[in-house]
Structure 1
Amino acid sequence: MRSHTLNRVGRLLPLLVATVAWAPGALHGADPKASPTLVSVKRIWDKAPHCAFTDLLRWKKKWLCCFREATGHGGDNGTVRVITSPDGVSWNSLAVLKQPGIDLRDPKLSIHPDGRLMLLMGGIVNLNGKYHTRSPRVAFSHDGHTWSPPATVLAEDHWLWRVTWHKRTGWAVSKLNEGRKPRRGFLYKTRDGIKYEYVTEMETEGISETTLRFLPDDTMVALIRPRWIGLSKPPYRKWSYTNIGQPIGGPNFLITPQGTMWAAGRKYGQAAKTSLATMTGTTFQHVLELPSGGDTSYPGMVLHDGLLWMSYYSSHEGGKTSIFLAKIKL
């Protein structure tokens, strides 16, 4: 395993603004008349004082949703719970992952090329309620109920946020440094989910949580917190970036079979909201605010039966941070 250690904290990173030639399908502009409709929204879990940071997966004709449970947003040691449902209506607990002295958070589900479930998590060490250090964790399961012990990957201080599998290779961006320190991001690839090979540095300002997806021509698209869309072609060492002009937290997006990109995350303003947006390689536009507020965002997104199914967390109902599931007609 190769880890890319940082010894150049504080340097200024060059900013590249993209001029993108979009191909048919996913590369054309977003529909300016897009008007998605909220079909339903339901609170599906609230059994801990603070339930947050979701992901959603359709696997073997059932739903899996994962999230962190703790007493608050940060500073304490959280656990990761996986719940399941046959229909998206009735939900039951399937597994709880924990590590003594570790705050497990931001879990992300994916299907490994060998068919196993893979769960990626951040693992933070807090001392006296304050952040001390961190490193990513991964666990694997054949059934969603029994998981391997969370194993540490990459080096200390990494935050490997989401793995996207494409042609049997997993791709992910890891951010380094916290708080006001200059953040840097690095693109990695993996064949097994445990050993990660450095590809390139993602040189854009303030890089943080990043979701990657692929177009039919293998172009990689990145939606990057706080306000960037990135594009790169194989071997993914050279990138162009567009500033979308507005911040987004907990970014996620998907590409429909028709080639349209839909994104979701925290919309900032007078009040925080979880919001759905249309996007292209150069544009990003919020089009639908979900019932949400306060501490909210970190959506999971799945297309199923003609609808967008989206998990997210919010504290708008009575101030308690809970897990919600929305169905949206695009």
Structure 2
Amino acid sequence: MYIKSIRRITNDACHNAFTGACFFNGSLYITYRQGAAHADPTGKIIVLRSDDEGKHFENVATFRQTSDSRDPHLYTDGRKLFVVGFEAGTQRKSFTSYTEDGRNWSQWTHLRGTDGFIMWRPQFYQGMYYCAAYGEFERNKNSVVAWFESNDGINWERRYDIHKGKEIPTECFLDFKNDGTAVMLMRCDDKNKKPYLCMSKPPYRKWEKTRLNIPLLGPCLWLVKGEIWISGRWFVNPDIAHIGVFRIENKKPVLRLVLPSGPDFDCSYMAVAKDPENPVRFWFSYYSGHTASDDPEINQFSHPDIYLVEAIFGSDKTGFIIDWQVSDVQKISLDQIKIPVPDNIKWKKISAYTEKDIKKGIATLSTLGFVDAGNIIKGKDGVIFFKTQIDLGPSETIRMYLGYDGPVVVWFNNKKVFSGPGTNPAIADQTSVVVKPEHGTNTITIALETNNGKAEGIFCRIVKEEKTL
């Protein structure tokens, strides 16, 4: 997991918390609850939109009923973007609104068939809307998590109870694997605070439940190429909490990262937005009070802000091409290149950095997958070539992700598919291009202009295009 950026996207005198995130029609949407305190009758739901992958936002919608409107969530069925939240009055009713263009929103509408339940993070999967909602809640005593289904995201039906009892199950974060398996992280509000990892195959009537050995509240779960990742308000000890990120290995959580957060308990509620074109690139929103306000009169811990994380999940299994051939630096410019590359070029073997190199201390997470030709370039000006061959099965299209620290030209099977300037240092997945492969052996050739000897190498990986929704 490589963190590309962490941005603070609110900075005011409010209590900003409880986030949701989703991509829709090419834009990134973030939602959160804004109020005067953690629980406050003035609470309202804000929806922000970014057209430049989270660098700048505009407010596109605000929702509120008659009491504290909170715990918003964003999800899409491909045609509509839904925002869901609940009113924290005596009735605890759930509401929704949707948009088809990102600008015009429907009325804040009560979710029918859900009275007494909080519809916490519904999801859409293969034509149906699903939610593991919680209700019948008595603080420190009892609650129940029930499975709801809907044909339209407005009218819901309670199918059966998943879990109830002394563990006090509440908030559930749900996602679906490619084979249809539902995977869910279920919060428990008993004194142990240890969540359940739950799995169920269609039609989602029987659940396998494993209680994890970490105290974690405000649950979040996402899938990366079949791997299960979770996060939440992780209690380092009874008095200190941070947002911990864990990967599930053999049904056990393994700590991989602690995000800037805490040490106060009022943090977490991370949400996930998966890049629509890159299965290992994610945006995460969360809230925390770890950074003081610009106004010294404001207590940072009682007035937390919203943060946005951009992350890449990389491993040798995510498509980075490891084995390459590399040329010496040629004293030519990019516009002088002819493909195929002349036979008189002498090639050397070179490999991209792998996780083994990280363990050896040769590479870092940020250079995982990098083909480092710095020892060949050595400050020389000109063009260096990278070439590799990959065997592919039948596929209509693949997406090739690139990173480079100088101007490049890329050919796929001797056909030019991309050219552009670079940034130094190179950034994995800086850009991508869709190509149509041949069934069998395919050749990738990349020419990198050394930028007066300042360039060092490339990232390149391929991913088969996946159909979603």
- TM-score of the pair, normalised by structure 2: 0.58
3-state DSSP class of the match of 1:203?
Answer: strand
What letter is aligned with 1:248? L
**Cross-structure match for 2:289:** 315
**Cross-structure match for 2:251:** 282
Aligned counterparts, 1:140-159, within 5 A: 140-153=98-111, 154-159=113-118
- Report deviation, 1:277: 1.3
Contact 1:95 1:144 in 2 (8 A): no
**Cross-structure match for 2:461:** none
Deviation string, structure 1 residues 57-108 (Cα, Å, up to 9, x no partner) = 1111211100001001103231111111122111121111122x22111111
4+ runs deviating over 6 angstroms: none
- Report deviation, 1:302: 2.4
- Structure 1 residue ranges without an equivalent (≥5): 1-35, 126-131
Deviation string, structure 1 residues 143-169 (Cα, Å, up to 9, x no partner) = 333322211123432111011111010
**Cross-structure match for 2:48:** 83
- Report deviation, 1:121: 0.5
**Cross-structure match for 1:184:** 144
Deviation string, structure 1 residues 167-187 (Cα, Å, up to 9, x no partner) = 010110111113123111100
User: Residues 110, 280 of structure 1: CA spacing in aligned structure 2 closer, same or farther, 3 A cutoff?
Assistant: farther
- Report deviation, 1:40: 1.8
In structure 2, how many angstroms separate the alpha carbons of the residues matched to 1:173 and 1:276? 22
Aligned counterparts, 1:230-309, within 5 A: 230-256=198-224, 258-270=225-237, 271-279=240-248, 282-293=251-262, 294=264, 295-304=266-275, 305=278, 306-309=280-283
How many residue pairs get aligned? The number is 286
**Cross-structure match for 1:95:** 61
What letter is aligned with 1:236? Y
In structure 2, how many angstroms separate the alpha carbons of the residues matched to 1:48 and 1:91? 18
- Report deviation, 1:202: 0.9
- Report deviation, 1:42: 1.2
Contact 1:254 1:301 in 2 (8 A): yes
User: Residues 307, 214 of structure 1: CA spacing in aligned structure 2 closer, same or farther, 3 A cutoff?
Assistant: closer
In structure 1, how many angstroms separate the alpha carbons of the residues matched to 2:175 and 2:114? 25
What letter is aligned with 2:235? Y
What letter is aligned with 1:249? L
In structure 1, how many angstroms separate the alpha carbons of the residues matched to 2:186 and 2:114? 22
- Report deviation, 1:279: 1.9
Contact 2:92 2:115 in 1 (8 A): yes
Contact 1:82 1:94 in 2 (8 A): yes
- Report deviation, 1:280: 5.3
Query: Is it true that 1:175 corresponds to 2:149 in the alignment?
Result: no
Give the fraction of aligned pairs with identical amino acids, expressed as a percent. 27
Deviation string, structure 1 residues 220-254 (Cα, Å, up to 9, x no partner) = 11111131011112221111210101222221222
3-state DSSP class of the match of 2:91?
Answer: strand
Query: Is it true that 1:139 corresponds to 2:101 in the alignment?
Result: no
Deviation string, structure 1 residues 98-139 (Cα, Å, up to 9, x no partner) = 22x2211111111135x01111111111xxxxxx33111111
Contact 2:270 2:284 in 1 (8 A): yes
- Report deviation, 1:286: 2.4
3-state DSSP class of the match of 2:203?
Answer: coil
3-state DSSP class of the match of 1:234?
Answer: coil
- Report deviation, 1:198: 2.0
If asked which structure has higher relative contact order (CA below 8 Å, sep 6+), I would say 1
- Report deviation, 1:201: 0.7
In structure 1, how many angstroms separate the alpha carbons of the residues matched to 2:186 and 2:29? 25
Query: Is it true that 1:124 corresponds to 2:88 in the alignment?
Result: yes
- Report deviation, 1:140: 1.3
**Cross-structure match for 2:335:** none
Deviation string, structure 1 residues 282-317 (Cα, Å, up to 9, x no partner) = 222221010111211011112335533211110111
User: Residues 152, 48 of structure 1: CA spacing in aligned structure 2 closer, same or farther, 3 A cutoff?
Assistant: farther
